[in-house]
Amino acid sequence: MTEKNIPLFTISVVARIVGVQPRALRLYEEIGIITPSRREKGHRLYTQEEVERLIWVRNMATTHGVNLAGIKFILDLMERLRIELSDFEEIRINMKGERK
């Protein structure tokens, strides 16, 4: 686990950092934009990576006027592209190994 993936921030801290209400963060979780970790009593904990994603989400919504459905679509598309590129890189590496 990298430092960016360690759950450290509570919902109130993240809401202040990102500039949204905690209810917005819960909504983002409901629609699958983020998936914070949970403490034993159910309290949400966010990673640095999730905070960065939320700042990007807020920027897309406020600066570019993208609605949450559009943001979710873009994030899903980016994830699929990341997987495809990873698979492509693996195939490329395997092909290099076969040529030797």
What is the C-alpha to C-alpha distance for residues 37 and 40, in angstroms, rounded to an integer? 10
The pTM score is: 0.81
Token pair, residue 41, equals 């009593």
Domain ranges of the chain: 3-99
Going residue by residue through the chain, which has 100 residues, state the pLDDT in tens, using 9 for 90 and above.
678 889 899 999 999 999 999 999 999 999 999 999 999 898 999 999 999 999 999 999 999 999 999 999 999 999 999 999 998 888 888 888 776 5
What is the structure's pLDDT at 46? 97
Looking at residue 18, its amino acid is V
Looking at residue 30, its amino acid is E
Q: Which fold has domain 3-99?
A: Multidrug-efflux Transporter Regulator; Chain: A; Domain 2 (1.10.1660)
Q: Name residue 45's beta-bridge partners.
A: 10, 37
